[in-house]
Amino acid sequence: MWCGAPFFTRRGVSTPGEEHARIIGVDDTATGILTFHPNVRRFRMGAITQIAWCDATFNPWVGCLRVSTACDRCYAAALSWRYGWRDGKGRDLWDPGADRKRTSSAYWRGPLRWNECAQAEGTRRRVFCASMADVFDNKVPTSWRVDLWSLIRSTPALDWFLLTKRPQNMADMLPTDWREGWPHVWLGATTENQEEANRRIPHLVAIPAAVRFLSIEPMVEPVDVAQWLVLPSHDRRAPISWIIVGGESGGGARPLHPDWLRGLRDQVHAAAKLFVKQIGSNNALWPSVTGKGEDPAQWPADLRVQQFPR
């Protein structure tokens, strides 16, 4: 069984033509291929990723709506505008009134192959779902989400990371057999500032899950999450087990202050783990950092932290 790609093989880029375009770096840090046609009825995306905390990305559908300041410089919305992705009524996929676009059935078979490879190798693969959408988006047809749960249920060798800005929808959208959570599904919420942390985390921790995590990316101000990192006396895990943190990338990126990052690091203890992903494109406060600040060798030694909860 051939198990090399899609996890580690990079593919080339062809020049955009009238019928389709191939785009490398489709999710800002991914290395994959997106093919779309003028009517946007077919959509194929490669799963190779350079996101440091996962092995692959999977997008069951494409399109979303900006809901907070973390969305201000959304890479997916920028790609949609640039390449003219449209719904069935000709609307940009990030337009407030747009419908979501489901990806192809061939693309949906990808995780089944990854699962077979992982089982054959005796390994586990981490899959970020959905980098170009939101699993708990209330504009997504219920039947699509049912199909996604079926796919996830069928791939127990994959650890699925479901990151949302809509944790208030989780309770009503999880599968009926969720119970205490599926062992290979991690639930997370984006908490780019204190307001969103205070609003979103209570919804997240109310849901049982194998792992609950936060993505504080882009970190746009100091964020205090210490109260959710305390190990309860009756449980072996804190309400939040893992935190991903990073600065903003792209033009006009807001800075990540070193003191904010150190303050977050100091909140984490034995009950939780921290993963510093990147410093971001605004390097004004980081004289040794270049590009998006993804190379830990360029960071201060005390901030080179990339841990997983298990």
Which residues are CB-contacts of 40 (< 8 A; sequence separation ≥ 6)? 85, 86, 87, 93, 101
pLDDT band of residue 69 (cuts 50, 70, 90) is confident
Q: What is the pLDDT of residues 206-220, one digit of tens each?
A: 999 999 999 999 999
Report CA torsion sign: 37, 38, 39, 40: positive
pLDDT band of residue 75 (cuts 50, 70, 90) is confident
Q: What is the pLDDT of residues 152-195, one digit of tens each?
A: 999 999 999 999 999 999 999 999 999 999 999 999 999 999 99
Q: What is the pLDDT of residues 22-46, one digit of tens each?
A: 222 233 333 333 333 333 333 344 4
Residue 83 clears pLDDT 70, i.e. is over it: yes
If you average pLDDT over residues 46-60, what whole number do you get?
A: 83
| pLDDT at 140 (0 to 100) | 97
Beta strands in the chain (DSSP E): 21-23, 34-36, 43-45, 56-57, 61-62, 101-102, 125-129, 158-164, 185-190, 211-216, 242-246, 273-278
Question: Which residue is associated with the tokens 């440091």?
Answer: 52
| pLDDT at 47 (0 to 100) | 52
In Å, how far are 72, 142, 238, 249, 264 from 68, measured between CA atoms?
Answer: 7, 24, 26, 17, 21
| pLDDT at 144 (0 to 100) | 98
Average pLDDT of the chain to the nearest whole number: 85
User: CA-CA-CA-CA torsion for 194, 197, 200, 205, nearest 10 degrees?
Assistant: -150
| pLDDT at 263 (0 to 100) | 97
Rounded distance between C-alpha atoms, residue 242 and residue 214, angstroms: 7
Record the tokens describing residue 151, joined without a space.
């796919």
Q: What is the DSSP string of 184-210?
A: TEEEEEE--SHHHHHHHHHHHHTS--S
| pLDDT at 48 (0 to 100) | 59
Contact 16, 5 (CB under 8 A): no
Which ranges in 136-254 belong to alpha helices (H)?
142-153, 170-173, 194-205
Query: Of residues 100 and 29, which shows the higher confidence score?
Result: 100
Which range of 28-42, 60-74, 79-93, 239-253 scores highest in mean pLDDT? It is: 239-253
| pLDDT at 21 (0 to 100) | 28
